Amino acid sequence: MTNSWTDIRNTDLVIIMGGNAAEAHPCGFKWVTEAKANRGAKLIVVDPRFTRSAAVADYYAPIRQGSDIAFLNGVINYCIANDKVQWDYVKAFTNASYIVKEGFAYKDGLFTGYDEEKRDYNRSTWDYEIGPDGYAVVDDTLQHPRCVWNLLKAHVAQYTPELVERITGTPKDKFLKVASMISECSSKTKTMTSMYALGWTQHSKGSQNIRTMAMLQLILGNIGVRGGGMNALRGHSNIQGLTDVGLMSNMIPGYLTLPTEREPDFNAYMSTRGFKPLRPNQMSYWQNYKKFFVSFQKAMWGDAATAENNWAFDYLPKLDVPAYDILRAFELMKQGKMNVYVCQGFNPMQAFPNRGKLAEALAKLKLLVVMDPLQTETARFWENHGVYNPADTAKIQTEVIQLPTTCFAEDEGSLVNSGRWIQWHWPAGSPPGEARTDAAIMSGIHLRMKELYRKEGGAFPDPILNLTWTYKDPHEPTAVELTKELNGSVLKDVLDPNDPTKKVLEAGKQVATFGVLRDDGSTAAGCWIYSGSYTEAGNMMARRDNSDPDATGAYLKWSFAWPANRRILYNRASCDIDGKPWDPTRKLIEWDGSKWTGYDVPDIAPTAKPQDVGPFIMNPEGVSRLFARGMMREGPFPVHYEPFESPVANLIAPKIRGNPVARVFKDDFAQFADTASKEFPYAATSYRLTEHFHYWTKNNHVNAVLQPEFFVEISEELAKEKSIKNAGWVRVWSKRGSVFAKAYVTKRIRPLIVDGKPVHIVGIPIHWGFVGAAKKGFPANVLTPFVGDANIETPEFKAFLVNIEPSTGPVA
C-alpha cells in the first residue's frame, strides 16, 4: 500500500478491481464503508463475479478475467480524449515531458527489440534521450512527437470503448459509466483509491495490471495524496515483512539485490547501482545504496567484512538466472536437480499450480523438512488419500522430517501490515507438546552447520563460520535481540569532521534513522528501511498511542511505519509545485517557506525546495514514470495480452500467445490447453471465501462448519446448457487434472459476450485438501497452469481453461 487502511476514510471513490476486499479483507473494508457513510464516497467494483464487494458497490461492471489491461488502457484513453487529466500534476510530477530515444516503436503487440527464441527483449531503445549535460532531455510544452505523453496517447488510442467491449466482455455502456466516474477524480479536490490483491497479481502479466492502474492514478493526480494511492491488499499477515527482509532468491533486506555472475566483483556490482540523478537537483535516494549495502554486510559478518575484502562481497552467492523462485525450484526438483527442501510455514502442495507436477517433484527429493504449527498436505504428500491424493506410498523414497513450531499466539515479534505499519506483539500461551519457535529451530541448524564446518572443513566455510551470532542464548535469540539488529547500530564512534571532540555517532548505540548509515563500516543494519523501529528511545513498533490529530487517519504514534514512520508514500506529491496542498481540506504536508511540515513525515528532505526537488525521490528522475524505461520485461507501456489459456485469440495481436516474455518451461507448455479450445471451453478463475484463510482454517472446527465442502460456482445459463443441478456433483477438469465438486449455481456469475460469442465462467474456491477438520476435498491447484508473471513469477491462478460435466461424485 502507498497509503494505509485508515486512510481509505479520506477517499471520494474506491475502485476494487483485482480483489474482493469485502470478503478477503473484511475489517479493512470497513474503511470503505466509513468513507461512503461520512464523505459520500462511491464504490466501483469490476470483477468477473458479482462478489460481496460488488453487492455493496454503487456501480458494478463485469469483466472477463485476464483482460484488465485492455479495460484500464481504455480508461486512460478515455481520460486523455476527454481532457480528464490533472495537468499540473502530470506536467510536474511524471515523465510525460521526457523525450524517448529514436528507434523506440510499438507494433502489433510488440515493442522494438523482441527475440522470439529467447522470449525476451533487447531493451536498449526503451529509454530517454540523454542531452550533452548528461541529463534526460525534456519538452515541457509536450509538443515533441517522441515525448512520453504523445507516445502514450498514441499507444492507448487503440483501446476504444468498442474494442474494450470486444476484448473484456464488459458492455460498452458499463465501461463508459466506470470510465466517466473514474475520470472525475482528475479534479484536484477529488481522489480515487485503488484496492487490489491477487485478482491482479495472479496473472502472467500481473505486474503490468498493477502498473496500468498506477499510470491511471498518476494521470488523475492521485498518488501521494490522502484517500488516493495504489493499495495492494497483502494476503498473509507478514508477507510484507518477509519481502522487506528479503527472503527471496535474489534479494538482500530492504530491496537491495544480490549480485549476478555478470557482476564479477564489487566495483562491477556497484557500477549498476550508482543511480546518478537523471535531472538536475534530484535526490535519487538510491545513491545511498552503498551505505545500506555495507551496513547490511556488517550486520551479517561483523569484523569479517572489511574494506580490504570489499565488505565480504564474495560471501554472497551470485545468480546465474534471474531468480530461483518457487516455480523454478519445483521444475528443478522434477528434473531431479534438487536434493533437500525446507518448507517453513508454507504448504506448496496446495499453494502452487499443477499439483500433479508438485507431487512428482517432491517424490524426487532425498529429504523434505517441514516446519509448521499445523499438519499440511506437503508434509504428507506421500500419504495415499484415494482420489484426493493418489500417492504410491511405498515407491516414494523421500524422507520427511516434520517439526512442530509455535504459532502467533505463542511467539513474540513484529509483523508488517499492508500499510507498512510494523506492529509488535507479545506471546500469550505455552506452545503445545514440544513445539519450538522458528528462531530456535533456525539457530539449531546454524549452530550445527558451524560446528560441522569447524570440525570437518568443507566447501567455503567462511560465511558460515563468520556469521554474527552474538546472542545471549545462541540457541534461541530473542525477538528484541533480532529486531535490534534489523534496526541497526553504531559499531565505531564517528566524530564530527568540524569538531573532532564531538561524536556524531557513538559506538554501541542503536541508529535513530537510516539517514546516519555509512559505507565505511562504522554502522551495521540488517534492513535499512526498518531503521528507526528500535532506537535508543526503545521499541517504536510497540507504541500504542492511537491519537489522530484532526482525524487524518495517519496515527503517527501508533506502532512504526517504514520508511521513517511515513504513513503515505510520495506525500510531497499531495502539494502543487509551490508546496501548497492540492486540496486544503485534505492537507497532508505543506511547504512553510523554509521547510515541510504537516500531519505526516515528509517523503522528501525536510528543507528540499518544492520547485527544485521532485517528489519521487527513489527515481533518478525525481518524477514518476508513465513510461517505464527498461524496467518491465514486457514493455514500457502496458499491452493487452491474453492469459496462456484463453477462450479467445488476442484481438489486437492474434499471433501472440499469452505474455510474450513470460518464462514457460518446456513440459508445461505441452500442458496448456489451446486457445479457444473445444476440449476446454470454459474460462475458470480461482478465489477465496470470507470464512476461510487459504489452507489454514480448514484445520479449525468453526471455519470448517461455516464452509464445510468444496464447490465450484457456475451461472444458471451454463448449468442449463450442461444439465447441472444446484448442489449436484460435477467433474471439472483441465489439461492437468480433474476434480469432483458440488455445483453452486448462482446469479453471481453470468456469461459474458466476448467479440460476439458467449464465454462461460467457472469459479473455483481454493480452500480444501486432505488434512484438517473440514471434509476432504480437492484444492484448485489440481487444475491450474504452471506459469508465472513475466517480472516476478506469481502463478497464473486467475485465468485458465476447464471443462465441466454432471457427475455422481468421487468413488472413495
Partner 1 sequence: MNMELSRRQFLKTAGAGVAGTTLGAMGFGAIEEAYASTIKPFRLVDTTEVRNTCTYCSVACGILIFAKGNLAKGEKADITHIEGDSDHPTNRGTLCPKGAALLDIVKSETRLQYPMIRRAGSDKFERISWDAALDKIARAFKDDRDANFIARNKDGVTVNRWTTTGFLAASATTNETAWCTYKTVRSLGMLVFDNQARV
Q: How far is the CB of 743 from partner 1 (least distance, A)?
A: 24
Q: How far is the CB of 449 from partner 1 (least distance, A)?
A: 6
Q: How far is the CB of 139 from partner 1 (least distance, A)?
A: 39
Contact between 202 and 796 (Cβ < 8 Å): yes
Q: Is 409 in the site for ligand SF4 (CB under 6 A)?
A: no
Q: How far is the CB of 272 from partner 1 (least distance, A)?
A: 16
* 546 versus 607: smaller Cβ distance to partner 1: 546
27 to 66: interface string for ligand SF4, x by CB under 6 A: x---------------------------------------
Cell of 695: 489452507
What stretch of H or E contains 802?
A: strand 800-806
Ranges within 201-230 binding ligand SF4 (CB under 6 A): none
472 binds, among partner 1, ligand SF4, none (CB under 5 to 8 A by kind): none
Based on the number of CB atoms within 10 Å of its own CB, is 394 exposed (0-12), middle (13-18) or buried (19 or more)?
Answer: exposed
239 binds, among partner 1, ligand SF4, none (CB under 5 to 8 A by kind): partner 1
Distance from C-alpha of 258 to C-alpha of 248, rounded to nearest angstrom = 10
* 451 versus 506: smaller Cβ distance to partner 1: 451
Distance from C-alpha of 382 to C-alpha of 602, rounded to nearest angstrom = 54
113 binds, among ligand SF4, partner 1, none (CB under 5 to 8 A by kind): none
Distances (CA, A) of 159 to 155, 168, 242: 9, 11, 38
Q: Which stretch binds ligand SF4 (CB under 6 A): 21-29, 135-143, 488-496, 776-784?
A: 21-29
Q: Which are the contacts of 452, defined by CB distance < 8 A and separation ≥ 6?
A: 458
Distance from C-alpha of 45 to C-alpha of 19, rounded to nearest angstrom = 9
344 binds, among partner 1, ligand SF4, none (CB under 5 to 8 A by kind): partner 1
436 binds, among partner 1, ligand SF4, none (CB under 5 to 8 A by kind): partner 1
108 binds, among ligand SF4, partner 1, none (CB under 5 to 8 A by kind): none
302 binds, among partner 1, ligand SF4, none (CB under 5 to 8 A by kind): none
Q: How far is the CB of 117 from partner 1 (least distance, A)?
A: 22
Cell of 72: 484500464
Q: How far is the CB of 746 from ligand SF4 (least distance, A)?
A: 24
Grouping H, G, I as helix, E, B as strand and the rest as coil, residue 522 is coil
Contact between 784 and 800 (Cβ < 8 Å): yes
* 174 versus 234: smaller Cβ distance to ligand SF4: 234
Q: How far is the CB of 466 from ligand SF4 (least distance, A)?
A: 40
Q: How far is the CB of 346 from partner 1 (least distance, A)?
A: 5
Distance from C-alpha of 523 to C-alpha of 509, rounded to nearest angstrom = 10
* 25 versus 543: smaller Cβ distance to ligand SF4: 25
Which residue's entry shows cell 495472479? 202
Contact between 66 and 798 (Cβ < 8 Å): yes
Contact between 541 and 311 (Cβ < 8 Å): no
Q: How far is the CB of 670 from ligand SF4 (least distance, A)?
A: 39
Q: Exposure string (b/e) for 788-799, b if CB count within 10 Å is 16 or more?
A: bbbbebbbbbbb
Q: How far is the CB of 688 from ligand SF4 (least distance, A)?
A: 11
Q: Which stretch binds ligand SF4 (CB under 6 A): 20-28, 422-430, 516-524, 603-611?
A: 20-28
Q: What is the DSSP string of 469-480?
A: ---SSTTS--HH
What stretch of H or E contains 495?
A: strand 494-495
Contact between 388 and 776 (Cβ < 8 Å): yes
* 7 versus 642: smaller Cβ distance to ligand SF4: 7
793 binds, among partner 1, ligand SF4, none (CB under 5 to 8 A by kind): partner 1
Q: Is 26 in the site for ligand SF4 (CB under 6 A)?
A: yes
Q: Which stretch binds ligand SF4 (CB under 6 A): 23-31, 147-155, 203-211, 789-797?
A: 23-31
Distances (CA, A) of 418 to 236, 600, 795: 9, 18, 21
Q: How far is the CB of 568 from ligand SF4 (least distance, A)?
A: 21
409 binds, among partner 1, ligand SF4, none (CB under 5 to 8 A by kind): partner 1
Residues in binding contact with ligand SF4, number by CB under 6 A:
3
Q: How far is the CB of 443 from partner 1 (least distance, A)?
A: 7
Q: What is the DSSP string of 595-622?
A: SEEESS--SS-TT--TTTS-SBTTSTTB
* 212 versus 697: smaller Cβ distance to ligand SF4: 697
Cell of 400: 520427511
* 474 versus 606: smaller Cβ distance to partner 1: 474
* 316 versus 605: smaller Cβ distance to partner 1: 316
Q: Is 811 in the site for ligand SF4 (CB under 6 A)?
A: no
Based on the number of CB atoms within 10 Å of its own CB, is 502 exposed (0-12), middle (13-18) or buried (19 or more)?
Answer: exposed
Q: Which stretch binds ligand SF4 (CB under 6 A): 8-16, 24-32, 245-253, 590-598?
A: 24-32
Distance from C-alpha of 391 to C-alpha of 383, rounded to nearest angstrom = 6
* 27 versus 702: smaller Cβ distance to ligand SF4: 27
383 binds, among partner 1, ligand SF4, none (CB under 5 to 8 A by kind): partner 1
Distances (CA, A) of 240 to 149, 194, 409: 33, 18, 19
CA 30 distance to own-chain centroid: 22
What stretch of H or E contains 667?
A: helix 666-669
Distance from C-alpha of 317 to C-alpha of 252, rounded to nearest angstrom = 11
Which residue's entry shows cell 482420489? 387
Instruction: Quote the radius of gyration of the chain (alpha carbons, Å).
Output: 27
307 binds, among partner 1, ligand SF4, none (CB under 5 to 8 A by kind): none
Q: How far is the CB of 196 from ligand SF4 (least distance, A)?
A: 16
660 binds, among ligand SF4, partner 1, none (CB under 5 to 8 A by kind): none
Q: Determine if the peptide bond prior to 681 is cis (ω within 30°).
A: no
Length, in residues, of the chain: 812
337 binds, among partner 1, ligand SF4, none (CB under 5 to 8 A by kind): partner 1
Q: How far is the CB of 236 from ligand SF4 (least distance, A)?
A: 10
Q: Which are the contacts of 373, defined by CB distance < 8 A and separation ≥ 6?
A: 345, 404, 405, 406, 407, 435
The residue nearest ligand SF4 at its CB is 27
Nearest CA to 198 among 631, 748, 796? 796
Contact between 603 and 595 (Cβ < 8 Å): no
* 408 versus 471: smaller Cβ distance to ligand SF4: 408
* 234 versus 629: smaller Cβ distance to ligand SF4: 234
Q: Select from 4, 22, 25, 35 the one that contacts ligand SF4 (CB under 6 A).
A: 25
Q: How far is the CB of 439 from partner 1 (least distance, A)?
A: 5
CA 60 distance to own-chain centroid: 25
- What residues make contact with ligand SF4 under the rule CB under 6 A? 25-27
